[in-house]
Amino acid sequence: MGGLAVLFFIALYLVIAFKVVGKFKASRYKWMVVALVVLIPSGDAVVGRIYLKYLCAKEGGLKVYRVAEHVEGFMGNGTHNDYWVKERGYQFAEDRPVSGMTTRYSNKNGQIIREDNVLPNSRYKLSLLNFGQVKHFYMRQQYVLETMNSGEILATDNQIYFNGGWAEKFLAAFSDAGGGSVARCDNSRLDYENLVTSVLKH
């Protein structure tokens, strides 16, 4: 049903556009009217994608400010942090704390030990931040690696999304999939594994 609504509004706009252009067929302003008919639904979408390329070049991707050496472990963004001990060679990895306590995975003589409800021991923390609207038409996700004590940011990994022009948003409201981003940085991708291993050296 949503797809039919999208087709209906596209067809309706085309009918109106042809009628408007037809009224100016003999006018010297005909091509100006044609340009307006094209730009009204697409102008902000084109400009938005151009500005997205600028944002991606300026702010997107991995940015490393300081590399930490001799890191034994860190606090991960979610669960399954035993992966960092099993596969990546860290001595321990911790989950995000709940009521001040965390779950820690440690390598003890080649065996992975899980400890629940222990005080955090990490000096570094990985976080995923989801930002709302950025400059009206954009969304952003960012992984951040920072120190626990001072909040010093060691590195960030940014992905920026364009939510589309007004016509794209209007039509998306009627689609079965709903709204969402229509373009993103093509020169970067969120990669927390590369972020961690590039910055936290053990």
pTM, two decimals, is 0.71
Q: Alpha-carbon distance 71 to 197, whole Å?
A: 10
Print pLDDT tens along the chain (202 aa): 445 544 554 555 555 555 655 566 666 666 665 555 555 666 677 788 888 899 899 988 899 999 999 999 999 887 567 889 988 999 999 998 889 899 999 988 888 999 999 999 999 999 988 765 555 678 888 999 999 999 999 999 999 888 877 666 666 666 655 556 788 888 677 888 889 999 999 8
Q: Alpha-carbon distance 155 to 198, whole Å?
A: 9
Cβ neighbors of 58 (< 8 A, separation 6 or more) are: none
